[in-house]
Amino acid sequence: MGFDLSTLYIGGVGAVGPSNPHKATPACQGYRTYGAGAEYTFDLAYGSNCGNVLDTSVPGKVSVRNAIHGYTGSVGSVIDRSKKFRVNFMCTFDSTTNT
């Protein structure tokens, strides 16, 4: 019982679980590419809401925080057979404002 790439998704900085609303959103799921060999890519298009946390507190910079989630297995009344996976990441970009 392990993770398959299709079980990974971008799901925000909160807890990993079976009821994360981003899990079923196609824009939050990855896909296979072969640009530089076999890769699994997450591509957040402008406006995609996958739990992104934006920070503009540093002048001239925009930071985006999120996490890649994975959840598989099940929880019974006595036995927990679930496995959870989360990798947090943050990207910082220079920003300019046109006035």
pTM of the model: 0.77
Predicted local confidence at residue 98, as pLDDT: 58
What is the domain partition of the chain in residue ranges? 5-94
For residue 25, the SS3 value is: coil
Q: Angle CA(87)–CA(89)–CA(92) in degrees, nearest 5?
A: 175
Measured distance CA(99)–CA(94) in Å, rounded: 17
Dump pLDDT digits (tens) for 24-74. Answer: 888 888 888 888 888 888 887 776 788 889 899 999 999 999 999 988 888
